A and B are shown apart, each in its own frame.
Chain A
Amino acid sequence: GAVVSQHPSRVICKSGTSVKIECRSLDFQATTMFWYRQFPKQSLMLMATSNEGSKATYEQGVEKDKFLINHASLTLSTLTVTSAHPEDSSFYICSANSPASVAETQYFGPGTRLLVL
């Protein structure tokens, strides 16, 4: 089946620094990737839809300048948390859809645990 990877799996950073998280589709090309955020004991909240070659579409309440998304190629989307603060600490998960599958078939990455000190 299709595989989606994320890097890093875990990152600890100081408050005020920026952190980049990568999401890669390993064996398929993904024109659309999705970024989710998950707080402890809570559900996944869709942050934005990342479209290859165009600007990301952000969900209501998500700061575009805070969470920069770049989808520069068909296999890579990046999420950069700029000037991170402790409240940004969370589990970030990406997903992608394989063009060979129907649109509702999403492949999820293993997630990235971000801890901001």
Chain B
Amino acid sequence: AQSVAQPEDQVNVAEGNPLTVKCTYSVSGNPYLFWYVQYPNRGLQFLLKYITGDNLVKGSYGFEAEFNKSQTSFHLKKPSALVSDSALYFCAVYNFNKFYFGSGTKLNVKP
């Protein structure tokens, strides 16, 4: 069975500080891993993905994520948070032509 876990319902960080949103996964085979962001009453926007290659993936809006196979993790990071980064973030696994989403983490960036 495929599953994605986001252990934190909410992450609070001050503007300018680094942020990390955690994600771990359990899949059969090699995973395709994704991060999406969702603003209120909006659909999902693609941030980045890992398919193969370099474990550090750089995406939109200055976000990056590190694939760690031994820890089965794919944490989302940004060196310096912006207030406008406040949103709901979803980690997802693509496997067998389907997406499996984590429960989401609400990121609050305070000025």
A-to-B contact residues, CB < 8 Å: 4, 6, 9, 34, 41-46, 49, 91, 93, 95, 103-106, 108-111, 113
State whether A103 touches B43 (Cβ < 8 A): no
Q: Does B63 count as interface, using CB distance less than 8 angstroms? A: no
State whether B43 touches A46 (Cβ < 8 A): no
Which applies to chain A's interface (DSSP): helix, strand, loop or mixed? strand
Task: Count residues of B near A (Cβ-Cβ below 8 Å).
Answer: 22
B-to-A contact residues, CB < 8 Å: 9, 32, 34, 36, 41-46, 49, 51, 90, 94, 97-104
State whether B90 touches A111 (Cβ < 8 A): no
Chain A contacts for B102, CB-based, 8 A:
43
Chain B contacts for A111, CB-based, 8 A:
41-43
Chain B contacts for A45, CB-based, 8 A:
101
Q: In the bound complex, what is the Cα–Cα distance between A46 and B98 (angstroms)?
A: 8
Chain A contacts for B32, CB-based, 8 A:
104
